[in-house]
Amino acid sequence: MAPQIISLTPSSGPEAGLNSVVIAGSGFANVGPLTVVFGTTATTFTIDSNTQITAIVPPGTGTVNVTVAALLDGTSNPMPYTYDTPAQGLIYVSDGIDTVYSIPAAGGTATPVVTGLSQPMGIARVENTLYIAEYAANRVVSVPTTGGAVTPLVPPNGGQESRLAASGLSGPTDVKVSGRRLYIADSGNLRVVSAPISGGNPTLVAGGLRGAFGVAV
């Protein structure tokens, strides 16, 4: 019997792709070589179990069908995946207290995007995701540009005993994105660090600085 797809998590993402999608269903194991296709583009993936595949989304636009084809058993039912159109004409501003706002670039009313943060400072945007340096929480988080759940990406270190250690953050003030890396001004540790855009422990870029408050790439 051909593989079956029940759901995609998430079912949408940036046009740039490269994010992971979990494909839930059945018939993924012991059926010969598999192919996972987004629209007409085959992509890389791992078979987690007979009922789950984790796939890397290729770049694309619009809404496409995702299918899983097994050499021995045929092709699954299609499941739609939507490439989000980047938000246009907005700027994003942190109040330094607990909220990040979106504002029309031509002027207009500030709209809260995310609240309940601990002194959000620097902000970077890539496609439909904001990356926020959360000063008082000693971390960098991401959130969709349209609002939603906050995802912690770079955690605190639980201590500042070694300012040059490539451990956690202390009072991050700014964050920028280059390629698949975050670059963070780690003010409490007097250093600049980088971390994967998907999250993880930071790596030292430069330490022993007199201060670290802004970063540009």
Per-residue pLDDT tens digits for 108-160? 899 999 999 999 999 999 888 999 999 999 999 999 998 888 998 887 544 33
Q: What is the pLDDT of residue 89?
A: 79
155-197 residue pLDDT tens: 754 433 343 334 578 899 999 999 889 999 999 989 999 989 9
Q: How many angstroms separate the Cα of 124 from the Cα of each of 39, 118, 130, 146, 191?
A: 30, 17, 6, 14, 19
In terms of phi and psi (left: phi > 0; alpha: psi -120 to 50; beta: otherwise), the region of 188 is alpha
Residue 66: pLDDT over 50: yes
The partner residues of 186 in beta bridges, in order of sequence, read 172, 191
Beta-bridge partners for 140: 133, 154
How is domain 4-84 classified at the architecture level of CATH? Sandwich (2.60)
Question: Does residue 86 have a cis peptide bond before it, meaning omega lies within 30 degrees of 0?
Answer: no
The pTM score is 0.58
- pLDDT of 205 higher than 80: yes
4 pLDDT band, cuts 50/70/90, is very high
| CA 137, 139, 144, 145 torsion-angle sign | positive
- Judged against a pLDDT cut of 70, whether residue 50 lies above it is answered with yes
Task: Locate CATH 2.120.10.30 in the chain.
Answer: 90-206
- For residue 32, what pLDDT is reported? 84
| Chain mean pLDDT for the chain | 88
CA 109 to CA 35: how far, in whole Å?
Answer: 47
Give start-end residues of each CATH 2.60.40.10 domain in the chain.
Answer: 4-84
Residue type for position 151: T
The predicted pLDDT at position 156 comes to: 59
Supply the pLDDT for residue 159: 38
CATH superfamily entry for domain 90-206: TolB, C-terminal domain (2.120.10.30)
How many CB atoms are closer than 10 A to CB 207? 17
